[in-house]
Amino acid sequence: MRDRHVRKSQLLTHVLILAPAVLSLAPAWALAQSETAPAAVPTSGFSATFTHFAVAADHPVASAAGAEVLAKGGNAVDAAVAASFTLSVVRPFSCGIGGGGFMLISLPSKDSKPNAPRIERAINYRELAPRAARKNLYESLDQERASLDGALAAGVPGTVAGLLYALETYGTLDRATVLAPAIRAAREGFQTDGAYMRAAINATERFVINKDYQTRFAFTWERFLGSGAIALGDTIKNPEQAALLEAIARDGAAAFYSGTFGKSLIEHVNADALITYTAGGRNPPRNAAWFTEQDFKLPRVDDGEPLTVEFLGKRVLLMPPPSSGGIAIGQILGLAERRGLATLWAEGNSASYAHQLAESFKFAFADRANYLADPKFTAIPVKKLLGAQRLDDFARRINPSHSYGPEYYGEPGQIKIDSGTSHISVIDGRGGAVACTETINTEFGSYLAVPGSGFCLNNQMDDFTTRLDKPNAYGLRQSEKNLPEPSKRPLSSMSPTIVLDADAPIIVAGASGGPRIITATAQSILNILVRNMNAADAVAAKRMHHQWLPSVLEIERGFDDREIMNGMGVSLWLRKVRQNVKDATSGAVVQLIHRTPAGTLDAVSDPRKGGAPAGE
């Protein structure tokens, strides 16, 4: 019998000892294949080239699920929905039916007339704060982690409503076909990999410190953490989620939001909410219900226009707020063009390229903190933020040989960091593309899994500004525009992005990794369009990240530190121009597909998380 209380060092040993063996013996996708293996080819490497269609998710089984429905004649939306439901099973710590997300769609017109406009949509199914949410809720509670652990951390999940809306409105296949790979993965099980173990190690540590979590969040503890003894290569089966997905395939979203399951979810959540409300001996509020049937009447899915910017003659589709990433990436690309980064790179000025890109990150993140929130609650000056006047002004203020304090870039405020999250990129064989990012917020979300459901509810409430006067759990603050309110959506960094050249999708990209999503997605796109890298190198290249506050330029180890003069490397030069350079302690994970000028599809699942693309 394994020791139930596995220590971090023991778990790390599992990872280090077992990783090479398990990874070389069999790729994860092979171990979760069934007799109905997809016709399309899943790969075991992190990048591959296809000729017809491609899917890049951060787990090989999810990429294969998308490719399977494309091989059956589905379009990019069918594939994204299949991959997404499958991620709910195989990446239970990142995303899933207990969370929410954004989907950016670009499909050829249904109208066969020449030059008929493409169908371009931004679908928003991010969690909604329940009606019981209040601006000062978390300040009024005794538990420091109330917005992170347990029921009060959870927003009303939007994933099932959003994915089925996208499927019914823009997909071509039926629910049963699209959900089949996810149901199979849940019944047959998947093997834990390095990314799973990293998340499990962090969660196990918290469950060992807070022993009551082991009973309070029993499903997560027993099934996902193996009662503290989960090891690399263990198989996790999830018949509970399989049964729920089967019900969704049969009865649609009603199987999730109403009926027996919806009621039991609400009851279980409200029982757990009482634990947080009464912590520290406080009296519960008169109405201590956190979720109500009213909240669970099919949650709102917003289907709107993407933001569009021009970059080097290409059209870039971006996610509008409450994504902060769309506006931020639009600003970063606008500044890259204005500051001539392509020329700087071509002339070998890699240090100046890095410095000026970092400066653009600071302006973009200052605007994120000061202007962005749910547009249904706050007027967001999108035109101004992406307008030529503002970007010209920022470009003029970028000093090629000096960096400044945070107040130079915007009014001090602070932004938060999170992990978890997952991104899927798809290009189908008919000219369609989907970029889809989903999350339950931090790893294993709120840890709360309703018995019989097989998934963790999100802790997306922590993406709101939960405490105005104090830094949040990550030591950071956001503006009061992003305070929690009933039926409001928290600000997000998720940044699904599609680049088109003459109406053909040429890059589909996005990432997981909190605020690093924005800088990683922007750098991957710039690596292709400005640095002329191939897709694999563009994603694998070491990155930097600056989010304005804290005023630190994080650089991944191995960052291109070529010598630029008299023994001085890029990072030393960055210090010389007063960038506060530090080693990055965490990074983002990008999934990207690039249609090359030769017409092939280079698909990449970032090697940082162990995914692999699939296609044909």
CA distances from residue 262 to 40, 207, 244 in whole angstroms, order as listed = 36, 27, 11
Pairing of strands 581-583, 568-569: unpaired
Q: Tell me: does residue 214 bind ligand GLY (CB under 6 A).
A: no
Q: For the window 460-489, what string marks contact with ligand GLY as x by the rule CB under 6 A?
A: ---x--------------------------
| Cβ proximity to ligand GLY, 226 vs 514, nearer residue | 514
Quick check: bond before 322 cis, omega within 30?
A: yes
Give me the sign of the Cα torsion angle 488, 477, 217, 158: positive
Tell me the torsion sign for CA atoms 503, 504, 510, 515. Answer: negative
Q: Is 438 in the site for ligand GLY (CB under 6 A)?
A: no
Q: Per-residue string for binding with ligand GLY, 393-432, x by CB under 6 A? A: -------------------------x--x-----------
Distances (CA, A) of 489 to 250, 379, 443, 546: 29, 14, 20, 25
Contacting residue, 492, 497, 519, 523, with ligand GLY by CB under 6 A? 492
CB atoms closer than 10 angstroms to residue 116:
11
Least distance from C-beta 254 to ligand GLY, angstroms? 27
- Examine residue 441 and tell whether it contacts ligand GLY (CB under 6 A): yes
Q: How many residues bind ligand GLY (CB under 6 A)?
A: 9
- Supply φ then ψ for residue 603, to 5 degrees: -110, 135
Q: Tell me how far apart the alpha carbons of residues 442 and 224 are, in angstroms, rounded to a whole number.
A: 15
- The nearer residue to ligand GLY, 192 or 495, going by C-beta atoms, is 495
Closest CA to 262 of 222, 297, 233, 226: 297
Going by DSSP bridges, is the β-strand pair 553-555/581-583 parallel, antiparallel, or unpaired?
parallel
Note whether 493 binds ligand GLY by CB under 6 A.
yes
Contact call for residues 175 and 245 (beta carbons, < 8 A): no
Catalytic site residue from 49, 86, 276, 421:
421
Nearer to ligand GLY (CB atom), residue 29 or residue 365:
365
Q: CB of residue 23 vs ligand GLY: minimum separation in angstroms?
A: 28
215 belongs to the catalytic site: no
Structure tokens at 404: 């400044």
Using the minimum distance from each CB to ligand GLY, give the nearer residue, 155 or 613. 155
DSSP secondary structure code for residue 128 in this structure: B
Stretch that binds ligand GLY, among 37-45, 213-221, 491-499, 545-553 (CB under 6 A): 491-499
Judged by CB under 6 A, the residue of 220, 439, 453, 551 near ligand GLY is 439
Single residue of 494, 518, 584, 604 touching ligand GLY by CB under 6 A: 494
Contacts of 333 by beta carbon, 8 Å cutoff, 6+ apart:
309, 311, 316, 522, 525, 526
- 147, 464 contact by CB (below 8 A): yes
Shortest distance in whole angstroms from residue 373 CB to ligand GLY = 13
Name the DSSP class of 473: T
Contact range with ligand GLY by CB under 6 A, out of 58-66, 215-223, 270-278, 492-500? 492-500
- The least distance separating ligand GLY from the CB of residue 463, rounded to whole angstroms, comes to 5
> What is the smallest separation between the CB atom of 429 and ligand GLY, expressed in angstroms?
31
Structural tokens at position 270: 């409200």
Of all residues in this chain, which one has the CB nearest to ligand GLY in the complex? 492
Range 245-284, binding ligand GLY (CB under 6 A): none
- Closer to ligand GLY at the Cβ: 262 or 515? 515
Strand ranges in 496-585 using DSSP code E only, listed in sequence order: 497-501, 504-512, 544-545, 553-555, 563-565, 568-569, 581-583
- Span near ligand GLY by CB under 6 A; candidates 2-10, 351-359, 369-377, 490-498: 490-498
Measure CA 394 to chain center: 28
Closer residue to ligand GLY, CB minimum distance, 63 or 421: 421
- CB of residue 100 to ligand GLY, shortest distance in Å: 8
State which of positions 307-366 bind ligand GLY (CB under 6 A): none
> Within 13 Å and on the Cβ side, how many CA atoms surround 313?
4
Catalytic residues, which ones?
421
Which residues bind to ligand GLY, rule: CB under 6 A?
Answer: 418, 421, 439, 441, 463, 492-494, 514
